Structure 1
Amino acid sequence: MTADSVGGVWTFALQLASELGRRGVEVTLLVMGGKPSADQAAEAGALKNVSLLGTDFRLEWMSEPEADLQLSGELLLELEAEQRPDIVHLNGYGHAALPFSAPVLVTAHSDVSSWWHACRRTPLPVEWSLYEERVRAGVEAADMVVAPTAAYFREFGSHHGAPRAHRIIANGRDPAAFAGAAKRAMALGAGRLWDEAKNIGTLRKAAEGISWPILIAGETTSPDGSTLATPANVVCLGRLPSQDIAARMAEAAVFASPARYEPFGLAILEAALSGCALVLGDIPTLRELWDDAALFVDPDDADALRDTMEALLFDPERAELLGQSARRRARRYSAARMVEAYLDLYRTLAEARPHRFRPTLPLRASA
């Protein structure tokens, strides 16, 4: 299995690998985009079924990735030849076009083309043409493409074409890792302050004039070294370890994510499992997942976001009821359900090429 060390793909891969381990599946996890942090390495090290390989290879959406994509592709083929996995599970696109022997499953988490359409609302610049060619080639070559929501799959396909086969499998988290506590009259958001997709800028604007504290977990310094001003009632927590974010979610009455682009939203799921009332951007993917279990606002309407958050913080009973509704919905998106869906898919793909595998061995995934 492949993963990167930044953002939700890491969380997805570790959660899936953990659940696979409980079912006797071994996972080799090749991480690109930067070596895992000490916390991440410790998290992976606690999983006895996971062999972690961390690299600094650039990801396909990064600047000038061609040489690194060549090297990481060679490494993937060497690993497959050495370990003979039953499945190659890629959490990226271009490597799916490599001549693997095992069936190749691609999980589509995000892509530049749909991100640009949602956030910039202009055609993707020509300098991204090679990226789009790599993604399309991977989609055409993959035996199966999985997306976490039907809405995102449709958007993804409109940019990169239809795969030969696909399934919708919602991401999942272990409910045991998240527990509600006595709620405080405060709202929590998560994302880098400059992130156009998470749209934390609108949350910062909406915080102006609210009487309650607004906490934001995420990096505060942009890649160019600049920082953004925030209202006095906004507390920037910086990048937090997963257990610290869970602790903040446990006590926050409201979780706000006015996203312009969110193919799934693991932080939203975690907040729901923690009993937070959800205030979300009104986009198709989040409607698909949380309709009737959250309040929705136009991602560009800071006034509507402010009014919605303030109304919930002023009325804790209503916030509690909405948090209970979110928690009930979140139970649909459990890690156990996710792994059972992936295991079924792994078996289906492996059985389609039974001559390539040794049936006497336990199922193994090279991911």
Structure 2
Amino acid sequence: MKILLTTDAVGEAWHCSVELLRAINLAAEFPVFATLATFGTPLSTDQMKVIEKLPNVEVVFGDYLPEWMTEAWRDVDEAGEWLSELAKSMQPDVVHLNGYSLAIHQFGAPVIVAAHWCVWTWWRAVHKCDPPPQWNEHRQRVRNGLLAAEAVVAPSQAMLDALERAHDLHADPRWLAKPRKAIAIACAKDGYRTGPKHPFIFTAGQLWDDATNLAALDEAAGELSWRVYAAGSYHAPGQDSLVLPKHIKLTGELPRIHLQQWLADADIFAAPFKYDPFGAAILEAAMSGCALVLGDIPSLREHWNGAAEFVDPDNPREIRDTLQNLIRTPAQRRRLANAALERALAFSPLRMARAYLKLYESVSRVKHSPAAVNGSHMPRVRMHGPSHAAVRHDHQPMTAGASRRSTVR
């Protein structure tokens, strides 16, 4: 089976793509070959090292803005043409898009849209209203992509429901007729360990994102007996000034091995998020034996109910009281940590890969005979694009004025 898979180089789409590619040939009874097409920020040297360890994967880079940026539609249209040409050359059995708007293009293969987030569902969750008019085209393009896809996947049923509401899909027969699957994001156990624990609270994510709700956690942190640390980018793309937290200590962006060490040491992981369709950072914290304190939103309830304490994201006092109560009760911390670890282990990469393989086969209508995977005949990773030395390391999205060149012709 041949898969054309698209992703950004940041966020949960990247995390999910890597875990899927790592597990898929272990889960399949036939060889699976993948072309990973990335957009926006080129892969870093560390990301390329990860990809180079994966069997049967080649990487191509399209120098186009991702669809979630304003003023990106010219790039998105050109990216669709480029991806269509790529599909003609590789003739995939399935096109798996970690995005929406490209699904309207002709690829000669069925298209699956994986919905990790969207502007409209984010805006409604964070701001409790619809986005301003400049996002209307984004909404229409997302809706068109969802309706054009053969199937739609999201990391939670809550995200599927939010998409249906935000894009007025509930009465559209095209939406109702297509497969819609909730497939949870997975995390390999490698590299994560569960202690010994130290008396501090940790959080991680895109800290500039209002959905991360760092302001509420910072307000609560001022009255806690333990320190609170936060890892991740604090500088929003295009932001000129910063308002630093008063009480939370920032670690900056951490290499994965250092992030895993912080998670192993932290006793509590606080994520009073306002929006998170699944929560890759939460999954990593659970794999590391942290007690979880999470925002009480449908997606996090869906996956972590019974394995975490839940708080109203808009109530800093409740966040403070819940965290301080956990600080005072070691037995409750251990109970929650054990429950979270048990839950996290159920979100295995093999389980995720098998769910995707079942969907791939159902939409592609291609039957594959079991076959041994002969490593000597596997294609090596090929980087069509910047050399390792030329890959940018800043992980910042490109601006609308950036170069619009494909590195694959």
Q: CA deviation at 1:72?
A: 1.1
The match for 1:267 among 250, 258, 281 is 281
Counterparts of 2:347 and 2:156, CA distance in 1: 11
Q: Percent identity?
A: 38
Q: CA deviation at 1:343?
A: 0.6
| Equivalent AA in structure 2 for residue 125 of structure 1 | P
Match of 2:109 in 1: 102
| Equivalent AA in structure 1 for residue 293 of structure 2 | V
Contact 1:25 1:362 in 2 (8 A): no
C-alpha change, 1:315 and 1:231, in structure 2 (3 Å) is farther
| Equivalent AA in structure 2 for residue 27 of structure 1 | A
Higher mean C-alpha displacement, 278-287 vs 48-57: 48-57
Match of 2:14 in 1: 10
Q: CA deviation at 1:148?
A: 1.2
The match for 1:335 among 349, 363, 385 is 349
Match of 1:185 in 2: 199
Match of 2:271 in 1: 257
In structure 2, the gaps of 5 or more residues are 379-409
Higher mean C-alpha displacement, 120-129 vs 264-273: 120-129
- After superposition, where does 1:132-211 map in structure 2 within 5 Å? 132-160=139-167, 161=169, 163=175, 164-211=178-225
| Equivalent AA in structure 2 for residue 192 of structure 1 | Q
1:11-46 CA-to-partner distances (Å, cap 9, x unmatched) read 111111111243432111111121112221222122
1:90-145 CA-to-partner distances (Å, cap 9, x unmatched) read 00001111012111111110000111101111222211111111111111110000
The answer on 1:325 being equivalent to 2:332 is no
The match for 2:302 among 264, 283, 288 is 288
The match for 1:240 among 254, 270, 274 is 254
Contact 1:34 1:54 in 2 (8 A): no
**Count of aligned pairs between the two proteins:** 359
Contact 1:193 1:228 in 2 (8 A): no
- RMSD over aligned Cα atoms: 2.0
Contact 1:174 1:336 in 2 (8 A): no
The match for 2:33 among 16, 26, 36 is 26
The answer on 1:123 being equivalent to 2:130 is yes
Match of 2:403 in 1: none
Contact 2:123 2:131 in 1 (8 A): yes
| Equivalent AA in structure 1 for residue 114 of structure 2 | T
Match of 1:299 in 2: 313
- After superposition, where does 1:43-122 map in structure 2 within 5 Å? 43-122=50-129
Contact 2:205 2:281 in 1 (8 A): no
Counterparts of 2:369 and 2:340, CA distance in 1: 43
Q: CA deviation at 1:359?
A: 7.7
Q: CA deviation at 1:313?
A: 2.1
Counterparts of 1:21 and 1:337, CA distance in 2: 12
The match for 1:345 among 359, 364, 367 is 359
Higher mean C-alpha displacement, 302-311 vs 260-269: 302-311
Counterparts of 2:72 and 2:370, CA distance in 1: 39
TM-score, reference length from structure 2 = 0.84
Q: CA deviation at 1:361?
A: 9.6
TM-score, reference length from structure 1 = 0.93
Counterparts of 1:339 and 1:65, CA distance in 2: 32
Asked which structure has the greater RCO (Cα within 8 Å, sep 6+), the reply is 2
C-alpha change, 1:175 and 1:165, in structure 2 (3 Å) is same
